[in-house]
Amino acid sequence: MKKLFENVGGNQFKLREDTEDLNRLYKSSPLDKLKNLGYANSWISKTPAEVEKCKSLGHQEERFWVSPDGNKSIHGCTKCGYKFTIDSSG
């Protein structure tokens, strides 16, 4: 099976442009198993405790670009078991 993301440096990944049946691949990826904290855009002034704890442990957050234009990304930590989405499309 093709990999859903390709590494673009460090802890950043982008969606493969040649991905077929995106939903099926996403459902089989490690991202699907993580606790979803929703959109960071809606957190306003309160960062979830999971994210704060992860930062205090010094973990490196992973970023997955999920739109071809680079406006939408999923961030998370597989060690801490969470993910969240950021939509910067405006």
Q: Which amino acid is at 83?
A: K
Predicted confidence (pLDDT) per residue in 6-27, tens digit: 777 777 777 666 555 555 555 5
Average pLDDT, the chain: 78
Query: SS3 for 88?
Result: coil
State the average pLDDT over residues 41-48: 85
Regarding pTM above 0.75, the answer is no
Return the bridge partners of 9, or none.
12
Return the bridge partners of 84, or none.
75
